[in-house]
């Protein structure tokens, strides 16, 4: 076994790897960027080395610098995590040339699976079913349109170098093909520097089911399947293992296909073979097809760990250090059911806009496994993935596990940034999902119901106001005075809503609240405050902002009476960055006429691109940003000349 390894990653996955390394007595070296100097993964490591600026290209993607740090620190091996350099065969070659071990597959295996078209051809040869379609070299638009016709609509255009759902277009009818092809190629060129695409049959009512494989370079075993059908824009949101409705026969067929895929490329380490499955008529052994192989540990690997009892990172370190496969296929069994929900800093009502912020409060209930790369006080910065944590649960049955997931999400408390927590809670409570009726279209179909913002409960207003006024402690601290009931008032806003709230402290354990025209009483029962019998929810306060937790958490701002009327109306003269991000392109030129709705710039925040549009007709006065700039939320990008009035 290694004495010391370097983890070439950050956040949640770096912490996850270090946890197992520590349990195995292996020392760890972290690397970090300027943005991560005080990050959790830096604190957890035995040693930490600064490697550059916050942009990934200046730090976490600097393979040569990372290899030098590994050598200087005496690490014998490098764990790449996921993302960043994990699927970069050039990096693997360089690591080995430096006399170090790469904890993962060979460069050759990564290359073979790196492009979706070559991987599909290879898998066909190995007898693994692949999605019907065209994955040849001819990229002529007319030729591809002809192939699409042959395959039969709807078809999916995919960038051969694709990942993270980029460069992918669903085409429903022939008349849309040419435009979709162009936009897929454009996106593929920007994102991957490779315009090539393949065309696939679009599987109806598709389910995403993937097989966890593990190889020693010659032989491989599988650790069963994960269902990742709950997706938004081809991105996984909730994953589970095993797959609902899975039969022994189907599991055997998919598991064997996964093992064949891994053995065909001499796979070493942990990998995932992703299949698309036709879910329109139950799971059938002739209804699954290879999509791609991810040659690394996957974000959702914990659900497999919880049902198999295997620590996949432990296996990675053992096999990389030369041990044989830690278990045979027959040793592996499934116990119970597991779910993972990805908790992100994002603004769901604003179209899942990635958000940033400092986590003024962060806590998870004890009954879940929370894999997280941040602590209370840490900042979700614009530089990286906005993941806060993965909330992972295990139960004896799917029903038990799902109810544990609901409960864990309800009791997860995050303040300081908006999150997708309520959306995850709504998903966990979705009836069809509860029955195991999953397909990749579920979220999009029911998006409205899943993202509905309900009325803020009265109890939330009261709990927030109690904290704002400092009357949340019962007894003497409540401000109760012997000679007169105490009155206090505050004004709170929640989104557009604004309420005048006042309290009359009736005694150390009773308060009467007035919310605009309605009045409510709350009482303290010796342990908690209650309103109509129910306990008031927990609250966190920071800088005048109150976050009330619960099945749906609510954020309130306390209005300082001196500071009112200060907020200006929408300024149509300036086009601002709505969130922190990278300016991808600027189309505006000084002096140019623009029409309302014209696209003036593209901002990339985390994994999405956002078009910034002119709010009115006008003339561009000034362009204040250029492509490549990293900007903060609210930064002015383009200014229009003052409108004549």
- Which residues of the shown chain bind ligand ADP in the complex (CB under 6 A)? 56, 82-84, 131, 156, 158, 162-165, 200-203, 206, 208, 231, 234-236, 274, 276, 291-292, 294, 298-300, 385, 440, 607
Let me know: does 620 contact 594? Beta carbons within 8 Å.
Answer: yes
CA quadruple 68, 74, 76, 77: dihedral, nearest 10: -50
Instruction: Please say which residue, 232 or 318, places its beta carbon nearer to Mg ion.
Output: 232
Min dist. Cβ of residue 204 to ligand ADP (A) = 8
Closest among 527, 428, 419 to 473, alpha carbons compared: 527
Min dist. Cβ of residue 367 to ligand ADP (A) = 24
Separation of CA 56 from chain center: 17
Kind and range of the H or E element at 421? helix 421-428
DSSP 436-463: T---TTHHHHTHHHHH---PPPHHHHHH
Site string for Mg ion, 541-560 (x = CB under 5 A): --------------------
Please choose which of ligand ADP, Mg ion, none residue 300 contacts, taking the beta carbon within 5 to 8 angstroms, the exact cut-off set by kind. Answer: ligand ADP
Let me know: does 455 contact 485? Beta carbons within 8 Å.
Answer: no
Min dist. Cβ of residue 309 to ligand ADP (A) = 22
Closest among 414, 296, 425, 406 to 360, alpha carbons compared: 414
Instruction: Please say which residue, 209 or 368, places its beta carbon nearer to Mg ion.
Output: 209
In whole angstroms, how far apart are CA 252 and each of 221, 222, 223, 224? 12, 10, 11, 9
**Cα–Cα distance between 374 and 356 in angstroms, integer?**
13
Please choose which of Mg ion, ligand ADP, none residue 21 contacts, taking the beta carbon within 5 to 8 angstroms, the exact cut-off set by kind. Answer: none
507: its two tokens? 């005694």
β-strands 518-524, 206-216: how paired? unpaired
Q: Which residues are catalytic?
A: 296
**Cα–Cα distance between 56 and 381 in angstroms, integer?**
12
The residue of the chain with the least Cβ separation from Mg ion equals 274
Min dist. Cβ of residue 130 to ligand ADP (A) = 10
**Cα–Cα distance between 27 and 340 in angstroms, integer?**
28
Min dist. Cβ of residue 239 to Mg ion (A) = 12
Instruction: Please say which residue, 235 or 538, places its beta carbon nearer to ligand ADP.
Output: 235
**Cα–Cα distance between 179 and 287 in angstroms, integer?**
30
Instruction: Please say which residue, 87 or 410, places its beta carbon nearer to Mg ion.
Output: 87
Min dist. Cβ of residue 439 to Mg ion (A) = 16
Please choose which of Mg ion, ligand ADP, none residue 20 contacts, taking the beta carbon within 5 to 8 angstroms, the exact cut-off set by kind. Answer: none
The residue of the chain with the least Cβ separation from ligand ADP equals 83
Instruction: Please say which residue, 369 or 472, places its beta carbon nearer to ligand ADP.
Output: 369
Instruction: Please say which residue, 203 or 614, places its beta carbon nearer to ligand ADP.
Output: 203
Min dist. Cβ of residue 408 to ligand ADP (A) = 20
Separation of CA 608 from chain center: 12
Let me know: does 17 contact 30? Beta carbons within 8 Å.
Answer: no
Closest among 222, 226, 218 to 268, alpha carbons compared: 218
Please choose which of ligand ADP, Mg ion, none residue 54 contacts, taking the beta carbon within 5 to 8 angstroms, the exact cut-off set by kind. Answer: none
* Phi and psi angles of residue 423, each rounded to the nearest 5 degrees, phi first: -65, -45
Partners of 639 in the β-ladder = 574, 622
Render the burial of 63-88: b for 16+ CB within 10 Å, e for the rest: bebbbebbeebebbbbbbbbbbbbbb
Min dist. Cβ of residue 104 to Mg ion (A) = 17
Instruction: Please say which residue, 173 or 333, places its beta carbon nearer to ligand ADP.
Output: 173
Please choose which of Mg ion, ligand ADP, none residue 2 contacts, taking the beta carbon within 5 to 8 angstroms, the exact cut-off set by kind. Answer: none
Please choose which of Mg ion, ligand ADP, none residue 36 contacts, taking the beta carbon within 5 to 8 angstroms, the exact cut-off set by kind. Answer: none
Instruction: Please say which residue, 156 or 575, places its beta carbon nearer to ligand ADP.
Output: 156
**Cα radius of gyration (the chain):** 27
Please choose which of Mg ion, ligand ADP, none residue 529 contacts, taking the beta carbon within 5 to 8 angstroms, the exact cut-off set by kind. Answer: none
Looking up tokens 């991957």 gives: 192
Min dist. Cβ of residue 498 to ligand ADP (A) = 39
Instruction: Please say which residue, 215 or 386, places its beta carbon nearer to ligand ADP.
Output: 386
Near Mg ion in 265-284, by CB under 5 A: 274
Please choose which of Mg ion, ligand ADP, none residue 607 contacts, taking the beta carbon within 5 to 8 angstroms, the exact cut-off set by kind. Answer: ligand ADP
Please choose which of Mg ion, ligand ADP, none residue 371 contacts, taking the beta carbon within 5 to 8 angstroms, the exact cut-off set by kind. Answer: none
- Taking 3-state DSSP, the helix, strand and coil percentages for the chain, each rounded to the nearest 5, stand at 30, 35, 40
DSSP count for the chain of H helices, then E strands: 17, 40
Residues near Mg ion, by CB under 5 A? 274
């Amino acid at each position: 076994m290694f004495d010391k390894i370097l983890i070439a990653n950050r956040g949640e996955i770096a912490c996850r790897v270090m946890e197992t390394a520590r349990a195995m007595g292996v020392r760890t070296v972290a690397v970090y960027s300027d943005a991560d100097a005080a990050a959790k993964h830096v604190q957890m490591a035995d040693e930490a080395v600064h490697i550059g600026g916050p942009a990934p290209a200046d730090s976490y993607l600097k393979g040569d610098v990372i290899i030098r740090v590994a050598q200087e620190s005496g690490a014998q091996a490098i764990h790449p995590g996921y993302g960043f350099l994990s699927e970069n065969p050039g990096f693997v070659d360089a690591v080995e040339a430096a006399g170090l071990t790469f904890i993962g597959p060979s460069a050759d295996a990564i290359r073979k699976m790196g492009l979706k078209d070559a991987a599909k051809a290879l898998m066909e040869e190995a007898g693994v079913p692949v999605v019907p379609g065209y994955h040849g070299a001819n990229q002529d638009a007319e030729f591809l349109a002809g192939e699409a016709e042959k395959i039969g609509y709807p078809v999916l255009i995919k960038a051969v170098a694709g990942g993270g759902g980029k460069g992918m277009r669903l085409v429903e009818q022939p008349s849309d093909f040419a435009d979709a092809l162009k936009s897929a190629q454009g996106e593929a060129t920007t994102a991957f520097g490779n315009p090539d695409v393949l065309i696939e049959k679009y599987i109806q009512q598709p389910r995403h089911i993937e097989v966890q494989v593990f190889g020693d370079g010659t032989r491989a075993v599988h650790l069963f399947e994960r269902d990742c059908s709950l997706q938004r824009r081809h991105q996984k949101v909730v994953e589970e293992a095993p797959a609902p409705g899975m039969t022994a026969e189907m599991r055997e067929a998919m598991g064997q296909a996964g093992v064949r895929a891994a053995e065909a490329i001499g796979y070493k380490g942990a990998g995932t073979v992703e299949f698309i499955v036709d879910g329109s008529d139950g799971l059938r052994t002739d209804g699954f097809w290879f999509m791609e192989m991810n040659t690394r540990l996957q974000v959702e690997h914990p659900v497999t760990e919880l049902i198999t009892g295997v620590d996949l990172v432990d296996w990675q370190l053992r096999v990389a250090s030369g041990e044989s496969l830690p278990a045979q296929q027959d040793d592996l069994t499934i116990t119970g059911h597991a779910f993972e929900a990805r908790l992100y800093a994002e603004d769901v009502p604003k179209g899942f806009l990635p958000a940033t912020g400092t986590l003024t409060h962060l806590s998870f209930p004890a009954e879940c496994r929370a894999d997280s790369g941040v602590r209370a006080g840490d900042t979700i910065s614009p530089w990286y993935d906005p993941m806060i944590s993965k909330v992972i649960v295990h139960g004896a049955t799917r029903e038990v596990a799902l109810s544990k997931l609901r409960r864990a999400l309800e009791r997860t408390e995050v303040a300081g940034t908006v999150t997708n927590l309520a959306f995850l809670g709504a998903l966990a409570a979705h009836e069809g999902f509860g029955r195991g009726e999953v397909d990749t279209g579920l979220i999009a179909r029911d998006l409205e119901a899943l993202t509905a913002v309900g009325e803020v409960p009265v109890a939330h207003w009261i709990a927030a106001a109690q904290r704002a006024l400092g009357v949340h402690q019962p007894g003497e601290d409540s401000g109760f005075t012997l000679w007169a009931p105490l009155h206090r008032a505050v004004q709170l806003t929640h989104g557009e809503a604004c309420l005048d709230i006042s309290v009359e402290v009736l005694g150390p354990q009773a308060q009467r609240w007035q919310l605009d025209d309605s009045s409510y009483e709350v009482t303290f029962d010796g342990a908690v405050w209650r309103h109509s019998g129910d306990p008031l929810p927990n609250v966190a306060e920071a800088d005048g902002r109150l976050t009330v937790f619960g099945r749906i958490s609510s954020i309130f701002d306390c209005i300082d009476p001196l500071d009112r009327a200060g907020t200006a109306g929408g300024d149509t003269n300036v086009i601002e960055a709505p969130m922190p991000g990278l300016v991808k392109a600027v189309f505006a030129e000084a002096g140019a006429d623009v029409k309302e709705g014209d696209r003036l710039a593209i901002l990339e925040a985390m994994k999405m691109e956002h078009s910034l549009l002119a709010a009115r007709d006008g003339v561009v006065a000034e362009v204040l940003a250029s492509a490549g700039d990293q900007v903060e939320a609210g930064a002015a990008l383009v200014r229009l000349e003052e409108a004549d009035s």
